[in-house]
Structure 1
């Protein structure tokens, strides 16, 4: 399938239009995303384009490599991309996306060489450049290297305190939120809330990453998640304007592909906000919380918004993106950084979500500017919603399963219940957020856990039909 998709893209490499070629480069990265291949087809196809003169072509190849090799810690890619960070002739956007791609490839690895390269860039940049929106992707790339590594970030955080004051606090907040992502650390959430309580006068930008950080740290378990939603409601009421612009994005991250009614109502209200950036963030977040669910209520809201904003091209663009997300893969895909019933966190999936949300902090300059393709980082978090059962030879097997809301084990002694309000379906079957499936027949024994994706079954030798 991978070879066929790459062949489909091949014809676009010979186009005379640069934008078409750049799209093909990005497409190769998307097709190879989350796929391991000893032949390294992505490197073979994209490697030659990394050193081209045209900046947009280089960016297409660099992001393609970042998507294809996210989490792989591939030394070949590092040796290909690292020289760009030290290239004095390279434009700021090329350097920023190179740093992000290296951050994705070495996500959660604490790689010192990549970290030092990014730190040198942040130290060497002119003060006038540090106010550019794309420069904020450099602290994000640094944060991705320490994703979920907690105390390991302390040395780099101390170095960040020596940066220019225009970027210092932004870098500190980004590093802190990435390092403690998914840990549920209450003290770090309190620290981030403290930064959000300040009233700024210098036009600093660090409160946006702090708001996203609250969602990142608290997303690990249900109770912390609900508390974070309540805290974000208070920030909406009392926070500065730059905080209000980040709150919808934080809500989108907390309820990714899980359209909770209270969050949906909040985002619906904010999508009509007087501040266009708050409205745009709310619209994108409506797409995120409904991603792949085909949720009828969100789809109706977005149809109404497309009529309401038909004269505003920027907001209409955001509505169309959100509509695409709600019907992601025609309802067969989901955006989910967790797997195995929220037991394991995927660093690459979370990194893709964080990168997109940080880009959305400055909608007008990045998403609505030249860099709308940053939205494609979401592909790192895409995975199938369905549960498929296969036999020992990996051939599809249709069996009855009960699908219901997951609960902690309850019921009579010796007869535990793990789901409630179930319905019986035949596999393959779609699982929504919070759903769990269990076999409705004793004819088969599962050889792998009944979780998302594939489940391997074998026939039960003791089974007899009555």
Structure 2
């Protein structure tokens, strides 16, 4: 009953006795004893809600306390309110039910709100508001945010004492009211102040996601670093980074910068480096790199930069002088070839493969046996590509690098085929610059211009992503003798080689060589376009002002309008787009400028620039805009028919480019592609298979390759060729047995169609790329970072494949080598601090999303224990088996330096500055 210092009145005593007698009657009824007045007693049971004795006592107490508040004696208010608060705070209830004190006080809520309006200002009124705020939780009316309303009327720091559910409810209402006030342009400072009280409460109770969501809704995420500590920062950052794919510009960058600041504050330099790379901010990359003097850590960050092909100058500090060369080697990928061959040795695949090992003609149907392997120039050219892709990076094969008469295979092809065949040497010798230059050198002095052209391309391919202080590629390819050679193919391949070699380097010397070619009215359109594309690849994602202005000036030049109907102009447009890769809204200035251009190519160019700017962001509104473009019907008699068709084709590629990297978006987009194939115009249908290949390269999902397999038998031969190529992209470097079987069947099916058969062979070469050790997926580091350089290469070949018969299957097949920029080993190689391979046991399994999960959940499932180096398939993750070593990288992927644990604590706290 009521507290002893406040004795109940006789009326209340009578009420209590009535309830007690009712409870006795209920008990008798349950025991099987008859009741005196049936109907009357049933009414009494309903009114008492069959409460237990304990609950009835609590209800009576609370009813009495509310009654106290209605009396005129103000001295009763404080003890009554305190008793109410104690009752609510100490109530224990199941997780799913409303606490009983709140249940019993709910009917009194209107009375208490009326009292609040009547009471004079003072502590009692604030205390009543405190209680009303908690009872307000039981009202789920969307228009009433009473919990927040009364909380603001009763400011207190002790919000956490009301429990976690109350804090969450309050946060929800803050978000709702904030949105209303922003719309009405009212001030929101009180809401922000209250939210900043709730954030530490969330963090203390392991509700990091709630804290981040609240700050995100109130647009104060940059305040977050003040509230995290060493126990919470890692989970908070994990959630921040995982949300970025679901945010729009500029919030996505804001979240990344907040996570970067937190990691830097807690000296977590490798995750901070990953975020700096993801932001494509060279100042932040340099800042992280130079914020430590620990040489091993610098080497690890060098490997991360090398993987992204972001180049930062390594200063020779006194502390790290002896390690400086190794750090430079890590940044510039100089030892990538050595580590790749270590993997090959471990997997016992150093023995070169022949094209027949790939084709497996004996498994093709006997009806066409021998008809798919004719010794023609076309077949030999396909064999050169297949050989190059399959033995890529291993530095030996059975066709081009044999000891006797090395030019033999080159002379089995003709015309541009000789260019592609010599260029294949660059693929075989990838990343191995010193040995490779010796092998290719003699081809540069050939009397045959086509062989010189092939050697130019080979040098560009071999040095792609590898930096040397001496810059042999710039010396050889940037030479005026080559760029002004009388043979147009030598000029084109020299310009193309510069783009491949220096992709992502932002090297001004390359622009100085190429930009005059782009702007010169004397340059033929193919050379100008390829030079512009090389400029775009060199400065990809940098929005380099000089390059943008020079390329844009060509599109605005009315004297060159006649050239804009040429098929090669698309590569100049792509070069402009690549400069804005990932820059999002910064591209708007270019879009406005292109609107002023009078020629039909300005719209397709603008859409190509726009999709590059939003690549990998998953922006739903952009995808909707692109789908709208695909809806338009093009009039067959239209003057701009060609450019309108190209516009729609770029839009389809753009849908895949924007959606890639975000799993839910990918699922949705794949369904849209199905609709476009069913209902789209022929020009759209041709590009859909390419878009499907772009959305999941080196990730052979059965539902995708089964669909592509159907499209590979399409009545429209252009659709079929693109579907076959997309199957190659999908399985690139995976050795997927089902895809290999489908491609063998296609080789038999198309044995009479030279163009389709050529594409089947290319797809087979891609499938077995690097003997199954490589990937062309542009996402790396646990699929968090999008490689701009890799995507630029993929886009270049796909833009050519839009009209495959004009480019790749006719004479410009050397464009296939743009795939080189995306090729990278899919390995995990563990190294010691001196960069020597170190064999340790790791668990390799399917990655599990642990964001927001309680405790320390397992990050992989279905694992197998293997010793390094190991191959990692798409969606796989590795963990160290024991705690003998600690990884200096935040993810076990690529080249990872391990440190013996015994030394770690000392270095951890003494090396950072």
1:65 maps to what in 2?
498
Q: CA deviation at 1:187?
A: 0.5
* Matched-pair contact (CA < 8 Å) for 2:661–2:779: no
Distance in structure 2 (CA, Å) of the matches to 1:462 and 1:175: 50
Q: Per the alignment, in what secondary structure is the counterpart of residue 438 of structure 1?
A: strand
Matching residue of 2:437: 6
3-state secondary structure, aligned to 1:388: strand
CA shift at 1:446, angstroms? 1.4
2:850 — aligned with what?
409
| Runs (5+) with no aligned partner, structure 2 | 1-431, 905-913
| Counterpart pick for 2:768 among 327, 331, 339 | 327
* Structure 1 position 30, deviation (Å): 0.8
2:807 matched residue in structure 1: 366
Trace 1:310-389 onto structure 2 (pairs within 5 A): 310-389=751-830
Secondary structure in 1 matching 2:654:
helix
Match for 2:464 among 10, 33, 36? 33
Alpha-carbon displacement from aligned partner over 1:135-178 (angstroms, at most 9, x marks no partner): 11121111011001011111110111123442122112111111
Q: 2:542 is matched with which residue? A: 109
Asked if residue 298 in structure 1 is aligned to residue 739 in structure 2, the reply is: yes
DSSP 3-state at the match of 1:456: strand
Alignment correspondent of 2:45: none
Given that 1:449 and 1:455 are in contact with CA atoms closer than 8 Å, whether structure 2 keeps it comes out as: no
Q: 1:123 to 1:328 in 2, by over 3 A?
A: same
Residue 122 of structure 1 and its aligned partner are, at CA, apart by 2.3
| Cα distance, 1:342 vs structure 2 | 1.4
Any conservation in 1 of the 2:732–2:766 contact (CA below 8 Å)?
yes
2:810 and 2:851 mapped to 1: Cα distance?
A: 53
What CA distance in whole angstroms lies between the structure 2 residues aligned with 1:285 and 1:183?
22
Does the Cα contact within 8 Å between 1:410 and 1:416 map onto a contact in 2?
Answer: no
Equivalent-residue separation in structure 2 for 1:349 and 1:19 (angstroms): 27
Flag the structure with higher helix content: 2
Cα 1:165–1:150 change in 2 (3 A) is same
The residue aligned with 1:91 is 524
Larger Rg: 2
- 2:455 paired with 1:21: no
Aligned to 1:47: 478
Structure 1 residue 378, shift from structure 2 partner: 0.8
Partner of 1:249: 690
Identify the structure with the greater strand proportion: 1
Residue in structure 1 matching 2:605, options 171, 190, 202: 171
Question: TM-score by structure 2 length?
Answer: 0.50
In the alignment, the residues of structure 1 paired with residue 791 and residue 825 of structure 2 have an alpha-carbon distance, to the nearest angstrom, of 16
Contact 1:359/1:367 (8 A) holds in 2? yes
**C-alpha contact (below 8 Å) 1:350/1:381 kept by paired residues:** yes
User: Which stretch shifts more, 126-135 or 146-155?
Assistant: 126-135
Matched positions, count: 463
Q: Is the 8 A contact 2:879 2:892 kept in 1?
A: no
Q: Which residues in structure 2 correspond to 1:406-445 (within 5 Å)?
A: 406-409=847-850, 414-445=855-886
Rounded to whole Å, the distance in 2 between the matches of 1:369 and 1:278 is 16
Q: How does 1:173-192 map to 2 (within 5 A)?
A: 173-192=607-626
Mapped partners of 2:446, 2:511: distance in 1:
29
* Cα separation, 2, equivalents of 1:293 and 1:113: 41
When residues 427 and 231 of structure 1 are mapped into structure 2, their CA distance, relative to the original with a 3 A threshold, is same
Which range moves more in the overlay, 37-46 or 271-280?
A: 37-46
Separation (CA, whole Å) in 2 of partners of 1:451 and 1:351: 26
Q: In 2, Cα distance between the equivalents of 1:223 and 1:376?
A: 31
Structure 2 CA distance for aligned equivalents of residues 462 and 246 of structure 1:
55
Unaligned runs of 5+ in 1: none
Q: Report the Cα distance in structure 2 between the residues aligned to 1:65 and 1:7, rounded to whole angstroms.
A: 19
Q: Please name the residue that 2:376 is paired with.
A: none
1:82 corresponding residue in structure 2: 515
Give yes or no for the alignment of 1:120 onto 2:553: yes
Contact 1:133 1:366 in 2 (8 A): no
1:392 aligns with 2:833: yes
**Is it true that 1:288 corresponds to 2:729 in the alignment?**
yes
Please show how residues 119-198 of structure 1 align to structure 2 within 5 Å.
Answer: 119-124=552-557, 126-198=560-632
- In 1, the alpha carbon distance for the partners of 2:761 and 2:889 equals 39
Q: Once the 2 structures are TM-superposed, how far is the Cα of residue 447 of structure 1 from its aligned partner?
A: 2.0
Cα offset, 1:123, TM superposition: 3.2
Give the conservation status (yes or no) of the 8 Å contact 1:143–1:178. yes
Contact 2:778 2:787 survives alignment (8 Å): yes
Instruction: After TM superposition, give the deviation of residue 45 of structure 1 in Å.
Output: 1.4
Q: CA RMSD in A?
A: 1.7
Q: What is the Cα deviation at residue 339 of structure 1? A: 1.2
CA drift of 1:412 comes to: 9.2
Please say if residues 218 and 224 of structure 1, whose CA atoms lie closer than 8 Å, have aligned partners that are also in contact: yes
Contact conserved, 1:104 with 1:144, CA < 8 A, in 2?
Answer: yes
Pick closer, same or farther for the CA change 1:232–1:6 going to 2, 3 Å. same
Instruction: Please list the CA deviations of residues 407-438 of structure 1 after superposition, one character each: whole Å capped at 9, or x if unmatched.
Output: 11289964420011111111111101100000
Q: 1:351 to 1:462 in 2, by over 3 A?
A: closer
Instruction: Please list, as runs of the form range in 1=range in 2, the aligned pairs for 1:199-210 lying within 5 A after superposition.
Output: 199-201=633-635, 202=638, 203=641, 204=644, 205-210=646-651
Query: If the length of structure 1 is used for normalisation, what is the TM-score?
Result: 0.96
Q: C-alpha separation between the residues in 1 aligned to 2:853 and 2:652?
A: 44
Contact kept in structure 2, 1:410 and 1:417, CA below 8 Å: no
What secondary structure sits across from 2:600 in the alignment? helix
The whole-number CA distance in structure 2 between the counterparts of 1:35 and 1:304 is 39
Is it true that 1:450 corresponds to 2:891 in the alignment?
yes
Contact 1:196 1:207 (C-alpha < 8 Å) held by counterparts: yes
Kindly state the Cα deviation for residue 6 of structure 1 after the two structures are TM-superposed.
1.2
Query: How far apart, CA to CA, are the structure 2 residues paired with 1:340 and 1:410?
Result: 16
TM-superposed CA distance for 1:82, in Å, is 1.2
> Matches of 1:185 and 1:350 in 2, distance apart?
17
